[in-house]
Structure 1
Amino acid sequence: MKLKYFSSYLTLLFGCFCAVSYAEEEPEITFKTIEVGLGLYMLIGEGGFSGGNIGLSVGDDGVIMIDDSMPPMLDKLNKTVQPIAKKPIDYLINTHVHGDHTGNNTSLGKLGVKIFAQENVRKRMLIKNSDGKSTDKAALPVFTFNDGMTFHINNQDAQVFHVAHAHTDGDSVIYFKQANIIHTGDTLFNRMFPFIDLNKGGSLDGYIAAQQRVLALADDQTKIIPGHGQLANKADLLAANEMLMDAKKIIAEQIKKGLSEEEVVKHNPLQKYDSAWSWNFINTEKMTRQVYQGIQRAAEYKTIE
């Protein structure tokens, strides 16, 4: 597959994967709630694809939700959240623009939930969809930031900071300092090959750097809510980062030999990671192509003005 087309294909395929996975599994999908500590919870889908993992901060000061799944999951999301929160959601933080993390913005926005995100998330939402439709105004973040901001709520200093050109160009990580809990958004797919959206400002080097920034904050007791996958810790994040750096090194050596993308794929240089890291969206071949393109396009960021 030619270099210039693969990233667009992967972005489109991810959207299709989310929709098809839900359609196939919908009757069985539920949210499992994990109490992470100090009024913080992780919601993870079971029985099928429910979108990205959701974070929840509950306390006397209010309720913060981090990401909000996909539209078909709204009813199940409400039925899971309300017994925990026992009050309406006050604030929503979008970790990035993808629809499996922002899919219920419209519904929550219409209920008066205040939506926060890095400024590039709003900019990308303002671009008309491929069918020519605009994003509903209620879905748009009404509070945006460049580098970061802090929520002082529920006895926590929740530091929200931007990691540039990582999974996309609008990624945020949320660090609950007192609880020692971090929500990474999609800068971590725990024990899975990651998706790096080169067409929405993501980059291989930025993704690696984002993980290393989180590693610098974490210690052996830190609990990490990944964008996808099970609740993680520093060792999980380190393993993901080391895998990605090794994959980059392996494929960079192939590129230096003058091999084309198709030739590198044929050699299957990431085979050793297949059994532990491949999953139904990013298998070893797709990961190889993604890393190849990430290296070739290292100076090219499809950012948004």
Structure 2
Amino acid sequence: MIKRLFAAALFTTVIASPLCAQQDFSKVEVKAEQLAPGVSVLFGAGGNIGVSHGEDGTVLIDDQYAPLTPKIQAAVAGLGASPVKFLINTHWHGDHSGGNENFGKAGAVIMAHDNVRVRMASDQKTPFGEVKASPKVALPVITYAEGLKLHLNGEEVRVISVPPAHTDGDSIVHWTKSNVIHMGDLFFHKMSFPFVDRSSSGDVRGVIAAAEKVLAMADDQTKIIPGHGPVASKAELLAYRDMVSAIVGKIDGAIKSGKTLEEIKAMKPADGYGVNPSGFITADRFIEMVYGTLKPA
């Protein structure tokens, strides 16, 4: 029961960033893991943060919750990096963009997909409540539809947008020389089933397509930063893609055969994949998301 309540609360805070004010971040530790020279990942509370630093400045990928900004800045400094100059949001959710206002005020140039700015600039109605518009200083000032390239710190960093998947504004960040890829919440690793935010036009088929795009870019030495969970390998992303594809295939077949949502849940199509069924996104909640995406209106 406690696990289910915790998962439900965590699920809500991903969408409704104002609820982070109710959390106690004083005991959160922001820890760094180096993935390549000048490229690291920071773990704290919220989405995993990518960091690239060198003579051209520091690039941050996502920034967790606003109260954690001082700890994130301290962790960046601990890497020997200068203050954050560029900030990229992989999508709009508050556990990945909650620090935007703080970093924007500190002078960071914020970049994201067009739809990230659109959603952050206006009130958003979700199944879990209303998320108020962000202040101007928190909004991306450089936006794109397809992606962009940054030529910084001795390598080309590719920011690649994908069709609606986790949301309608997801981006992948690829350090081409360091062979590191940040997937944001297109990839939940070892902690739960995927989260498809249908209130932000997410589509589970896009989650599969995004995984396939990254698999085509990666090799056996690639280090993949998921939105949540530990750093992964290509083989682990492949297993994730296969799991999601298999579950979606089972549910799609059941829908076409005329089964109801409750009948599909009773089939337990998500069982047997080694994912905690009571995790952040439970098996039943994931089935509901997939069903809602695939079921004809």
TM-score, structure 1 normalization:
0.86
After TM superposition, list the pairs within 5 Å mapping 1:195-214 onto structure 2: 195-214=195-214
Aligned residue among 48, 61, 70 for 1:66: 61
How far the C-alpha of 1:28 sits from its partner, in A, is: 3.2
Question: Structure 1: how far apart are the matches of 2:120 and 2:17?
Answer: 20
- Aligned partner of 1:126: which letter? A
Q: Which residue of 1 aligns with 2:259?
A: 259
Q: Which residue of 1 aligns with 2:227?
A: 227
* Contact preservation (8 Å) 2:60, 2:86: yes
Q: Which residue of 2 aligns with 1:57?
A: 52
- Aligned partner of 1:207: which letter? V
Q: Which residue of 1 aligns with 2:42?
A: 43
Label 1:237 to 1:22 Cα distance change in 2 as closer, same or farther (>3 A). farther
How far the C-alpha of 1:241 sits from its partner, in A, is: 0.3
Q: Which residue of 2 aligns with 1:167?
A: 166
Q: Secondary structure at the match of 1:52?
A: coil
Label 1:13 to 1:84 Cα distance change in 2 as closer, same or farther (>3 A). closer
For the aligned residue pairs, the C-alpha RMSD in angstroms reads 2.4
- Aligned partner of 1:146: which letter? A
The CA deviation string for residues 170-190 of structure 1, in whole angstroms up to 9 with x for no partner, is 111011111111011111111
Question: Structure 2: how far apart are the matches of 1:208 and 1:18?
Answer: 30
1:276 aligns with 2:272: no
- Aligned partner of 1:221: which letter? Q
* Gaps in structure 1 of 5+ consecutive residues: 1-9, 301-305
Aligned residue among 85, 103, 107 for 2:102: 107
Q: Which residue of 1 aligns with 2:236?
A: 236
After TM superposition, list the pairs within 5 Å mapping 1:101-180 onto structure 2: 101-129=96-124, 133-180=132-179
Q: Which residue of 1 aligns with 2:89?
A: 94
* Contact preservation (8 Å) 2:46, 2:95: yes
* Contact preservation (8 Å) 1:208, 1:245: yes
* Gaps in structure 2 of 5+ consecutive residues: 1-9
Number of residue pairs matched? 284
TM-score, structure 2 normalization:
0.89
Label 1:21 to 1:269 Cα distance change in 2 as closer, same or farther (>3 A). farther
Question: Structure 2: how far apart are the matches of 1:135 and 1:241?
Answer: 33
The CA deviation string for residues 171-223 of structure 1, in whole angstroms up to 9 with x for no partner, is 11011111111011111111231101112121011111011000000000101
How far the C-alpha of 1:149 sits from its partner, in A, is: 0.5
Mean Cα deviation higher: 126-135 or 34-43: 126-135
* Contact preservation (8 Å) 1:63, 1:85: no
- Aligned partner of 2:168: which letter? D
Q: Secondary structure at the match of 1:221?
A: coil
How far the C-alpha of 1:13 sits from its partner, in A, is: 6.6
Question: Structure 2: how far apart are the matches of 1:13 and 1:31?
Answer: 19
* Contact preservation (8 Å) 2:54, 2:81: no
Question: Structure 2: how far apart are the matches of 1:110 and 1:146?
Answer: 25
Equivalent pairs: percent with the same residue? 39
How far the C-alpha of 1:12 sits from its partner, in A, is: 4.8
* Contact preservation (8 Å) 2:17, 2:93: no
